[in-house]
C-alpha cells in the first residue's frame, strides 16, 4: 500500500499574519473546536479625545478546526516546546 499523496500548500488569497498577544480561548463543540485569539490595544476614543490609555482585548482571529486537528496541533506544540526554550529567547544579561 502506498503512502497518501501530499498535496502542495498554496496561499492564493495571501492570508496575512495576525498579531495576537492577548487572551485566547478554545471552545469545543464536537466534532469541531474554535480557537479565538485576541490582541491588546488602547481604545482609540479615549486615547485621542481624553489623552487617556484604556486597554481592551480585540478579537483578531477565530480558527475553526476538527478535534483531530486540535489534538495534532497540541502534539506538535508539545514536541516543539519540549526541545527547550526557543532560540530567540536569551537569559537576561546574556
Q: How many CB atoms lie within 10 A of CB 67?
A: 13
- Give the global pTM: 0.72
Helix, strand, coil proportions of the chain in percent (round to 5)?
25, 30, 45
pLDDT in tens, 6-55: 899 999 999 999 999 999 999 999 999 999 999 999 999 998 998 899 99
pLDDT tens digits, residue range 62-86?
999 999 999 999 999 888 878 766 6
CB 17 within 8 A of CB 24: no
Amino acid at each position: 500500500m502506498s503512502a497518501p499523496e501530499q498535496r502542495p500548500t498554496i496561499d492564493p488569497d495571501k492570508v496575512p499574519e495576525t498579531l495576537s498577544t492577548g487572551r485566547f480561548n478554545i471552545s469545543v463543540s464536537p466534532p469541531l473546536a474554535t480557537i479565538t485569539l485576541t490582541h491588546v490595544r488602547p481604545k482609540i476614543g479615549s486615547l485621542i479625545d481624553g489623552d487617556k490609555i484604556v486597554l481592551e482585548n480585540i478579537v483578531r482571529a477565530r480558527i475553526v478546526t476538527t478535534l483531530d486537528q486540535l489534538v495534532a496541533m497540541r502534539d506538535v506544540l508539545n514536541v516543539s516546546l519540549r526541545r527547550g526554550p526557543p532560540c530567540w529567547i536569551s537569559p537576561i544579561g546574556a
